[in-house]
Structure 1
């Protein structure tokens, strides 16, 4: 009669079963490591990344999110879509998180601009930069130096600063709030009203 005791005995005493076990478990472990490498590699930027953003530039915030300011060139009032961080001339700007550089170019209201895509919906924008150290298509890790700032690149300002913005699925977020939360929970904080202005997400950023 085949019972639990004979089954237990056969599993441990049958050489063929033991051989299968010895081959099966290492194969499973290998598959797990391969899967982890695919999801965690900087080459695969996805929502699986849960580290919080870091501040891209050390310095004081001189203009806050949604703060109203006057556009001297167009003579209109605007709503600020990010934060301005002031620092010394030549200070380095770093990537706020792992991602892919999807745009390096010129913005009519922010001068030289870099956009990094962190997953399907999240972008960070870096404006008023003097030097770009990355190109479109580059993969970057959190903390990598991507640019430098200078007052010469922004004649309207007496001090060099970085305009840092965070866009989630077409919505501008307050960077001061987002710096303290995870990518995985960011959707819970989409409570900000979309700010209309002429700084749209361009097609090549998507």
Structure 2
């Protein structure tokens, strides 16, 4: 069990099947609210095949940096054979506003030659977001990911985006990779974007 206090992500931030480097539409429904805080208490626990994370933001009582926002979050994941399952819940209250609840469910399937993922999230009286993604190797050191996202707001906006990226991992430096990505969405006044970079994991 891991207990942490301080500036960190909420438990719900672990939810997503996302494989994009830069978002073309919000990553998931929880990103419509805050996904981190300065005074967060978070507990992560692994029970055999079940992972559970719970967090609460203590900035609720008025830390100037938070503006008085509150959040309580839960994330749960497990594996069944080649399936990875996840679920998350958040109750969020911005300062001076009513609280709003959001939840999400997701699944990833490893077919051997490729992985396939989907998730869906819903926020009360606000929006719903879904994502579909697949990733597959084209060489021992190179993987391609393709994805599509949709955000449908009750206020009327309905935005769909897509992305494609390729990642090359250096054979002798497993934590070092280079990537390139292109993506776009159908919102007004937007154009396709292209990204290249290097990533190092320690």
Common fold: TM-score over 0.5? no
TM range (shorter): under 0.3
Q: TM-score by structure 1 length?
A: 0.22
More helix by share: 1
Which structure has more strand as a fraction of its residues?
2
Q: Which has the larger radius of gyration?
A: 1
